[in-house]
Structure 1
């Protein structure tokens, strides 16, 4: 079974590696929407895969590191594309949440990344 919890955070960034004149080279911001997926068996006693509160305790502090920050100033996010950011988030959450199976990160309502730790 797969369960999930959604988070959102607001961050600014710029993409230093894109060509001159590209709009994303300039400082701008996004309201990111992150969905964290956990895979596991339903525990017979509790009737759930895991407590959503435990999922929030694992992922919430990582989201807090990003919220209202300039992503380029965070170690490992000097070129914070959605792809780079999704891997960074995965690497922060996975040690705290071994059952993590997927994250989806939306940069805009119509653009985003799905990462499954591959």
Structure 2
């Protein structure tokens, strides 16, 4: 049985570990971050409940991959959050999606592609050495649409 141990002294760079030891590997790694937002919308040319104005608490899951940098990080989770907050969420959270998104039927299938494109563009236009692998957009806890890199580029 292992006992609880109190750390007496934190490991120090250049004493206990060298900077060139921080990068353990040079493999591609996928990191994931999720966000939620609340929004209203309705669907055009659709016969069902969703033709009426209604709302959802959406969940977005990003899968972003890249090679780790010299300290072992693909992209800081805080940077993903910054992109989300400043470039994507402002168009979505507590909005009437039919007005704030480009002209489209505001289906989860259309929205997930738009979200993928926005994140991918933000990563390409900055100093990040990573890419979007997938985006999942949950409209309900059990229903989601997904855009994957291979589908976006090859079809």
Alignment correspondent of 1:34? 60
User: Cα deviations across residues 50-94 of structure 1 (Å, max 9, x unaligned)?
Assistant: 111111122222012200001011242541000011111112221
- Distance across 2 between alignment mates of 1:3 and 1:70: 30
Alignment correspondent of 2:44? 16
The alignment partner of 1:40 has SS state of strand
Q: CA deviation at 1:109?
A: 0.3
Structure 1 length normalisation: TM-score? 0.90
Alignment correspondent of 1:111? 143
Verify the 8 A CA contact 2:38 2:56 in the aligned structure 1. yes
Ranges in structure 1 where 5+ consecutive residues have no aligned partner: none
The alignment partner of 1:80 has SS state of coil
Residue correspondences, number: 115
Verify the 8 A CA contact 1:7 1:63 in the aligned structure 2. no
- Distance across 2 between alignment mates of 1:83 and 1:7: 18
Structure 2 length normalisation: TM-score? 0.69
Report which of the two structures shows the higher radius of gyration computed on alpha carbons: 2
Pairwise CA RMSD: 1.3
